[in-house]
Amino acid sequence: MAGLINNLLILLLVFQNSCSGFRNPLPVFKRYKDTTRSLSSECLGNNRPVISLGLTDFALDIRMPGVTPKQSDTYLCMSLHLPVDEEAYVVDFRPQASMDTVHHMLLFGCNVPSSTENYWDCDEGTCTDKSNILYAWARNAPPTRLPKGVGFKVGGETGSKYFVLQVHYGDVSAFRDKHKDCSGVTLHLTHQRQPLIAGMYLMMSVNTVIPPGEKVVDADIACHYQKYPMHLFAYRVHTHRLGKVVSGYRVRNGQWTLIGRQSPQLPQAFYPVEHPVDISFGDTLAARCLFTGEGRTMETHIGGTASDEMCNFYIMYYMEAKHAVSYMTCTQNINPDMFRNIPQEANIPIPVKSDMIMMTHGHHHEETKKTDDSFSLKQPKREEEEVLDQDFHIEEAVDWPGVNLKLGQVSGLALDPKNNLVIFHRGDHVWDGNSFDSSFVYQQRGLGPIEQNTILVIDPSNADILDSTGKNLFYLPHGLSIDKDGNYWVTDVALHQVFKLGVHDKEPLLILGRSLQPGSDKNHFCQPTDVAVDPVTGNIYVSDGYCNSRIVVFSPNGMFTMQWGEETSVGKAKPGQFRIPHSLTLVPEFGQLCVADRENGRIQCFRSETGEFTREIKHKLFGRELFAVSYIPGGLLFAVNGMPYPGDIVQGFVMNFSTGEIIDTFIPVRKSFEMPHDVVASEDKTVYIGDAYAKTVWKFTSTEKMEHRSVKKAGIEVQEIKAETVIEARLKNKPVSTESQKKWEKHHIVEQASPGISFVLITTLLIIPIVVLLAIAVFIRWRKTRVYGADADHKLESSSGRILGRLQGKGSGGLNLGNFFASHKSYSRKGFDRLSTEGSDQEKDEDDGTDSEEEYSAPPPPPVSSSS
């Protein structure tokens, strides 16, 4: 009978082990809860650091235990033991912090934290053994998403047993009220084995010196890669205030492939790698940080204090589990000469809107709006305007061949009804200082009209020339627009005329103005700049021009109806005053006409029927000149400024028409803007810009922004139904709506259906014989008790103890950057003894007050004539 009992016990153990894959971790969590540290009552959710998310998943809430830092640039650390012994995989991170109080956070994985206290000063270190960076956050960055099937391995025999959170409190003025901070990060972990293991590759400059006042300073990093293949899926950049752009590349056989490029002044998230990049044995990883020393009076070194700088390029990668390496670093430059061939984009700062800079520094945009922007007579917001899609970014279509077209000075652009691009250019004629006399009479009539076709119809996809016209008609082309019927409307500043041309007509259909005769009455123009035709009324609007300051309106058949505008008076320009009305765009949805008031550096809008002034849009980022403007249905306004003055950046702008706010800025990657002269945009947010001096046309397209949502790029997926609402509500002790709860539960049940069936089947098959055996055992024990007495109990316990003993007895150094920098022969700065790869940009010097305007600009080209 002892053998029967032994078999019963073995069956029970087999049943336990067979169900381990479905084991709910709650018993482990309950055991762990008994040893949980005491936390501040102000830290909602911290009294439950472990939350079950089902049979195999759980969330781990890692938070500061209610701390109040006493001084700026304080680094505090805390640790949390992994609540399970077996392997687990981190598959999601969710930051629980705000830039208002926290400068940045780093999450390490290790086995021996530097302290056993609830929290400690990070000057003592983070870990005493090897540590790996698992996550980094700063500047109100959004959550990081890992690709499906990828996770950071922790626990088990080889993974980290502890998480150590390091929080850098830059400016402690937010703690004047003595409140307690509970910042941290929530992890989503799973016991399901992940086929791909994530890791972190950190590229970091350690000896860069930025001279005071130096406009451009490069910090270059490069290392050979000599391990198994890794696949890159996300990147993150980090500098302090002087950093303008950080770029990372793979170099293979002399070819540079972009990993990621971003401004460190934007939210410092892990951004998805746009196009999949793999790294193989023998490749070189290279990165460049672009700095400026302008505004500094002393040398700036690499370090962790408020006045120091940093140059970090983080790469998240994954490898096959059998070859996985969790952490790698590169701190040298093995081949400085190779950076002579780095793509030009790495040397071009990414413009950052002043409101974005203020946001990332923890300020409210409203506080700076009065000094940054100028709006007048704002219109009430319509309901549809409140949900205007602003979740995109404009970037050059670098594979578009149109940038290589052989053109003259490009003066005008438009889109025809088929959405083909139409270019108006000057062929072999050039507008220079000898073109006109003091009375604005054209002086080069002896050259004759332009012999080349001045109007080119371009295929928007491949830049093939589909059609051309305009030969021997024009002297100095300027503005171009196309009406709803496909007719071309153009201006010629030498002829002082406006022309209507049919697509296939050899002679103009309508001519306004007198040939080669400047004037300012109803029948004359003086260097007219642009023309627009109302699609509903057919009215013709002419901006006139370089030597007049007015908008002239004609009926569809060319009869004068009205005009408005005057020359700008001394002092601040008033509404309705112009200093070269240079470009026009109609806003049919609002019944308005907007004018690029070039030399006043602003946009003015008027009611198209009456000429009544409605609003002005003016931003400091425009600089002194604004050359062109274009509107697309849906409420977006595009513009481009002109020749650079010291401190100005020549760039394109995207604005919300209703509010006037700048949504985005953009510049080309190939070539550079010299005098961008016209802009046109299509409803799909494709933008074209023509440059009179560069004789070039660029194409820009819209891409989804990644600052505030996860996207389906490079394996980073969007999930339509998630448990995040339920999880986050639990972590914050907030109620969850019944509808959300039901959706989550339904989704969770569907996902668990297959293993659930197996679990029920196994349970049923095993329980039936076990119940029978238990009944037999109870009966036998009852009989033995009657026959042998109490001795039987002792023998039974002894026998079963030996069986359990045999079955269960067998079953059951980090990156210290403080020391690294301290020992580095070229680094002797005091103040980087703390363990951090990132420092503060809460500067205390005098230039702190102008951070929102701190923008790098390349040296301006030599002065040229502004007439064009």
User: Active-site residues: which are they?
Assistant: 103-104, 166, 168, 238, 240, 310
The residue assigned the tokens 């198209």 is: 608
Cα 352 off chain centre by: 11
**242, two tokens:** 């002087």
SS3 203: strand
Q: Contact 641/847 with Cβ under 8 angstroms?
A: no
Q: Contact 461/401 with Cβ under 8 angstroms?
A: no
**620, two tokens:** 């400091």
Q: Contact 316/233 with Cβ under 8 angstroms?
A: yes
Of 661, 666, 676, nearest in space to 392 by CA = 666
Instruction: Label each residue of 161-177 as H, E or C.
Output: CEEEEEEEECCHHHHCC
Cα separation, 527 vs 868, whole angstroms: 10
Cα separation, 291 vs 799, whole angstroms: 75
Cα separation, 331 vs 225, whole angstroms: 13
SS3 781: helix
Q: What Å distances lie between residue 774 and 17, 766, 805, CA to CA?
A: 19, 12, 21
Cα separation, 291 vs 533, whole angstroms: 47
The residue assigned the tokens 């363990």 is: 835
R_g of the chain computed on alpha carbons: 34
Q: Which residues pair with 262 in a beta bridge?
A: 246
Please report, as a single letter, which amino acid is at residue 101.
T
DSSP secondary structure, 238-278, as one string: E--TTEEEEEEEEEETTEEEEEEEE-TTS-B--EEEEEEEE
The residue assigned the tokens 């102000």 is: 42
Q: What Å distances lie between residue 665 and 297, 654, 678, 707, CA to CA?
A: 30, 6, 16, 15
Instruction: Label each residue of 645-690 as H, E or C.
Output: CCCCCCCEEEEECCCCCEEEEECCCCCCCCCEEEEEECCCCCEEEE
Cα separation, 859 vs 784, whole angstroms: 100
Cα separation, 661 vs 659, whole angstroms: 5
Please report, as a single letter, which amino acid is at residue 831.
G
Total residue count of the chain as it appears in this document? 868
**606, two tokens:** 């008027």
Whether residue 545 is preceded by a cis peptide bond, meaning omega within 30 degrees of 0, is yes
Q: Contact 744/728 with Cβ under 8 angstroms?
A: no
Q: Contact 553/599 with Cβ under 8 angstroms?
A: no
Q: Contact 185/255 with Cβ under 8 angstroms?
A: no
Cα separation, 847 vs 844, whole angstroms: 8
Ramachandran angles phi, psi of 762, nearest 5°: -65, -45
Separate counts of helices (H) and strands (E) for the chain: 9, 48
Cα separation, 171 vs 183, whole angstroms: 15
Helix pair 753-788, 738-751: axis angle to 10 deg: 80
- Conformation bin of residue 580: beta by default, left when phi > 0, alpha when psi is -120 to 50: left
